[in-house]
Amino acid sequence: MLKKIFLIYVMLSSVCCFAALSIAEEKGDQRKGKYFFRSNCRTCHKDGGTAKYLGPDSKTMAQWQKAFEKKQYAEFKCKAEWEKRSAEELLDIFTYLHKYAADSPSPAKCQ
Ligand code: HEC
């Protein structure tokens, strides 16, 4: 009996977990994110710019997650630039970078 309850518990919690994960990844609009990234971040983060080149493939999915979700950007030199963006814009930018990250199924540079 206890074993059964435990099994049901494990099954239910893994279903919830997968659902939560896929929602988290699909939250933003990656097309808008690409646009925002190009117009707000690439101004500095490009070859020959004031900061080093940065594109989705510059980091892994986990590294982008750390930068955005864990607010690691508070340590970056361009913290002020991040804070100018609305939460929605940041979510779109995150969705774009995360979707094409170095270890994603379709890594991409920012052209
Ligand atoms: C005014 C110029 C400027 C803008 C605009 C800017 N950054 Fe930066 N950013 C910098 C500089 C300078 C650094 C320090 C490191 C370097 O030279 O790349 C930095 C660092 C970073 C880092 C850490 C680099 C690393 O190697 O881990 C990330 C990630 C980053 N920026 C992302 C962004 C994002 C996303 C945006 C848009 C919301 C943005 N930046 C906008 C100038 C800028």
How many whole angstroms separate alpha carbon 66 and alpha carbon 72?
6
Q: Count CB neighbours of 49 within 10 A.
A: 13
Tokens describing residue 26: 């699909």
Q: Do 111 and 100 form a contact (C-beta atoms < 8 A)?
A: no
Residue nearest atom 22 of ligand 1, based on CA coordinates: 76
How many whole angstroms separate alpha carbon 56 and alpha carbon 94?
9
Q: Count CB neighbours of 27 within 10 A.
A: 12
pLDDT confidence of residue 18:
52
Q: Is the CB of 104 under 6 A from ligand 1?
A: no
pLDDT confidence of residue 95:
97
- Predicted confidence band at 24 (pLDDT cuts at 50, 70, 90)? low
Q: Is the CB of 98 under 6 A from ligand 1?
A: no
Residues 59-109 pLDDT 10s: 999 999 999 999 999 999 999 999 999 999 999 999 999 999 999 999 999
Residue nearest atom 35 of ligand 1, based on CA coordinates: 41
| Residue 18 Cα to ligand 1 middle (Å) | 32
pLDDT confidence of residue 23:
44
pLDDT confidence of residue 73:
96
